[in-house]
A = this chain, B = another copy of it.
Amino acid sequence: MRLSRYFLPILKETPKEAEVISHRLMLRAGMIRQESAGIYAWLPLGHRVLDKVCDIIREEQSRAGAIELLMPTIQSADLWRESGRYDDYGKEMLRIKDRHERDMLFGPTNEEMITEIFRGSVRSYKQLPLNLYHIQWKFRDEVRPRFGVYRSREFLMKDAYSFDLDAEGARHAYNRMFVAYLRTYARMGLKAIPMQADTGPIGGDLSHEFIILASTGESQVFCHKDYLDFDTPAEDVNFEDRAELQVLVDRWTDLYAATEEKHDEAAFGALPEAEQLSARGIEVGHIFYFGTKYSAPMRAHVAGPNGQEVPVHMGSYGIGPSRLLAAIIEASHDDKGIIWPEAVAPYKVGLINLKRGDEATDTACEALYEKLSRAGVEVLYDDTDDRPGGKFATMDLIGLPWQLIVGPKGLADGTVELKHRSSGEREILSPDAAVVKLVG
C-alpha cells in the first residue's frame, strides 16, 4: 500500500482523554476513532490488525474442532425470558423496541440463541460433540466505558459454545478450548495465565480467566511465578486425546493462580515468597462450563445411547479481539510507539523513501515495493513528500516490524538500510540482500 493513497490520520498530539498507553497509541497511530462514548470506528490500520487477530483465533478454533457460524446482533427478548436472564442482566443490556413494539436487544452474549439453534436440529447424542462459534459485534452498555477499545460498549467477541452428552464430555470440550486459548495468545506474542475466576452472569461452577500481566491492568491477580516460564502447547497437540489434553490442562492449573474475586490469601501465602507473584492483570479471555444451566430451562435435549432424553452439557468460551489489540500494545511498546509482533502487524515492512522526487531513490523504492509485494510481503510504502524525520517518527509510532530506508546517499554506495523495530538493530545492505532477508 502506498501511503499517499492510504488513510492514516496520525495525531501529532497526545489525546487528553486517553488514560492508558494502548488507548493513546491507537488514537495517535490512526487506528481507531471514537464515534460515541465507548463506540469506535476501526480505521484502516486498526482494521488490518483486528483482521489478523481474528484470523489467528479462527485457525486455533478450527484446529480444536470448533465450527464457525454467525449469529445476528439483534435478538428477541423472548429468548432471554426463556432462560430467565432477561431481567437479571440489568442496565448493561441494550434494550430496544422495534416498530411493532416488540422487545428486542443487542446481544451482549449468545448462550440463549445458540441453545435455540441447537435444539432446533440436534436430537441425538450421535451428533455430539459439537462446538459452534462466531465472531460478532456485541454491546454492553457500560456505565463508564474507558481505556478505548479495552473497555468499550460495542466490542468484537469470539464466543464458542460446546454441547456434550455428559459432564465428562463437556470437560473434554472445556479442555480443548483451554488449550486453543493458550496457543492463540502465544501466537500473538502474549503470555496469558489461566486463573480461577468468578462466573458472573454467565453462571456455572468451572471457569478460568486468561490474564495478561500489565501494570495498567484493571484487576489485581495472584499466581505462582513459574507460570511465566511455561511452554505453549505445540501445534500438533492431539485435541481428540482426552488424556493428553487433561495432562496439559492439569499442568496449567495445578499451581496457584486466581483473580481477586477468587483469591485465597491463605493458599497464596503458603507459597514460598520467591514464588509468589502479585500483579495487575488484563483479562483477555474467559471460559465457562455451566452444565445444563441453559439446556434444562430451554429444553435442549438429546436422546442418549439408552434412548432416554437428557439436557446437554454446555460451556461457553469468550475472547475479545478488539480488547486483545489493546492488550498486545500494553505488552509491546516503547516511548516511540507500538511494537507489533510480526503475526499481527498490519504490514511487515515500512518502506521509507527519504527523498521523493530524486529519480534514483524513487526508482529504487518502486523496484523494492514491487519485488516485495510480488513475493507476498506486506509493505506500507511511504511515498509522501514529508520530511525524513516525520517519516521515521510515523513508522516508529505505527510499529511495523521492519523499516526499509532508502535514500540517495546510500544508493550512491549501492546500499539501503534495514531497521528492526523491536531490537532497534540497523543493517546496511544491498537492496537485493534486503529483499532476500525480508522474504525469507
Residues in chain A within 8 A of chain B (CB atoms): 5-7, 9, 30, 33, 35-36, 39-44, 46-47, 50, 65, 67-76, 79, 91-92, 94, 96, 98-99, 102, 104, 106, 113, 116-117, 120-122, 130, 132, 137, 139, 141, 143, 153-154
Contact = CB atoms under 8 A, between A and B. Distances in A.
Given A33-B120, A91-B99, A40 B72 contact: yes
A92 B42 CA distance: 26
Contact of A36 (B9, B75, B137): B75
Nearest to A39: B72
A35 B70 CA distance: 12
Contacts of A117: 33, 41, 43
B35 A67 contact: no
Contact of A7 (B43, B67, B75, B137): B67
Tell me how many chains of this kind the complex includes: 2
A2 to B, nearest CB: 10
B94 A94 contact: no
Given A35-B79, A41-B70, A44-B69, 18 more contacts: A30-B121, A33-B117, A35-B71, A36-B104, A41-B69, A41-B113, A43-B117, A44-B67, A44-B132, A46-B69, A47-B69, A47-B70, A74-B139, A74-B153, A92-B99, A96-B106, A99-B143, A137-B137
Contacts of A39: 72, 74-76
Contacts of A106: 73-74, 96, 106
Nearest to A65: B5
A120 B6 CA distance: 16
Nearest to A137: B73
B98 A35 contact: no
Contacts of A36: 72, 74-76, 102, 104
Given A91-B99, A98-B141, A43 B72 contact: no
13 contacts: A5-B67, A7-B132, A33-B120, A35-B72, A35-B75, A42-B69, A44-B69, A74-B139, A92-B99, A94-B98, A98-B141, A99-B143, A106-B106
Contact of A67 (B6, B46, B141): B6
The 10 closest A-B pairs by CB, nearest first: A9-B121, A42-B70, A36-B76, A91-B99, A41-B71, A99-B141, A72-B154, A47-B70, A39-B72, A44-B69
Contacts of A75: 35-36, 39
B143 A113 contact: no
Contacts of A33: 117, 120
A76 B35 contact: yes
Contacts of A69: 7, 41-44, 46-47
A320 to B, nearest CB: 15
B99 A96 contact: no
